[in-house]
Amino acid sequence: MNVGVVGTGSMGSVHVGLLGAQVPGATVVATADPFAPGADYADGLELIADPAVEAVVIASPPETHEALVLACLDPGKRVLCEKPLADSVEACRRIAAADADGRLTMGFMRRRDSGYADLKRRLDAGEIGAPLAAHMVHRNAASPAWFTAEHVLTDSLVHEADVTRWLLGEEIARVTVHTVGDGLSGPQLVVLETASGRVVGVECFVNAGYGYDIRCEVVGESGTLELPRRPGAVAGFQQWFGEAYRRELQAWVDGEPGPTAFDGYAATAVCAAAVESRRAGRPVDVRM
Ligand code: ISE
């Protein structure tokens, strides 16, 4: 499959590296990035129009996603879109509506992580009975300079929104965010309530200093299941989820079904409710 990659910053360069060296069946035929002198195109729309490009990875900033994704879907090119799907719930809704035949795969790589996949398999096999609640931790060693307290909710929490929907198999109905201080130098605590009344607590802390750390424990009627802990400090998500990114790309190239545009839309709706909850200081219902 001849792939074009739009956006060659921190995430896009990981995709270019993996596609070029560790994903049989894929060839990177073009890149686009207005800030990378070595890119084939400055404008992602020109890359998408290139007849040599059969499928596209979008790893540019979220506010560029809608136009790029729609330009791919129109001529029927397959897309792997990094999270979040777009920068507003409305844009995500438009994308999901335009993708009736499922050409878009969302870059929710955690679903391809062996620890998460095993947890999901054991949960679905009924090992702990019906799930009742979950506890999650999302820590980054340091946040990028452009990150705000709201990016913690739209860019980081989006993973837990997706993982919650995927693991528990139902929608998130209501979100409450507790922030003390600036929301960057300390943790934000988020409570997700599902449609059937399960509760998920998430600590999102993007300047934890000691390293990257992801935790997830699901509490069921007869026990608990937990992601395996990693010994020693891990620098960042590129290291923690490196193998998950590789599997995500291989599955996409092989045409396996993955998270959809609707999944991207639903996760962004949860994040929008979180942003509103943080601003208003009260629980907010998820509107889809
Ligand atoms: C980043 O964009 C990611 O996707 C990482 O997985 C996440 O840990 C980080 O907080 C995000 O900013």
* CA pair distance 111, 162, nearest whole angstrom: 9
CA distance to 129, 202, 240, 270, per residue, from 157 (Å): 27, 8, 17, 9
> 143: Cβ below 6 Å to ligand 1?
no
233-237 contacts at long range (C-beta below 8 A, 24 or more positions apart): 235/141, 235/211, 236/140, 236/141, 236/212, 237/140, 237/212
The whole-angstrom separation of Cα 149 and Cα 69 is: 27
Residue 120 token pair: 């999901």
Distance CA 95, CA 264 (A): 9
CB of 156 sitting under 6 A from ligand 1: yes
Q: Tell me, in angstroms, the distance from the centre of ligand 1 to residue 245's CA.
A: 13
Q: What average pLDDT does the segment 79-87 reach?
A: 98
Determine the distance separating the centroid of ligand 1 and the alpha carbon of 11, expressed in angstroms.
Answer: 9
Q: pTM, whole model, 2 decimals?
A: 0.97
Tokens of 150: 């709201």
pLDDT tens-digit map of 180-219: 899 999 999 999 999 999 999 999 999 999 999 999 999 9
Residues facing residue 200 across a β-bridge: 134, 192
Whole-number pLDDT of residue 202: 98
The rounded distance, in Å, linking the Cα atoms of 46 and 55 is 13
Question: Could you give the C-alpha distances from 235 to 118, 123, 128, 164, 242, in angstroms and in order?
Answer: 24, 29, 32, 25, 12
- The number of helices, as runs of H, and strands, as runs of E, in the chain is 10, 12
Q: Which residue puts its alpha carbon closest to atom 3 of ligand 1? A: 156
* pLDDT exceeds 90 at position 70: yes
Mutate which of 140, 204, 234, 238 for ligand 1? The one with the most ligand atoms within 8 Å of its CB, which is 140
The string of pLDDT tens digits covering residues 127-147 is 999 999 999 999 999 999 999
State which of 60, 152, 159, 190 you would mutate to test the pocket of ligand 1, scoring each by most atoms of that ligand within 8 A of its C-beta.
Answer: 159
Sign of the alpha-carbon dihedral angle for 114, 1, 3, 252: negative
**How far apart are the C-alpha atoms of 67 and 259, rounded to whole Å?**
20
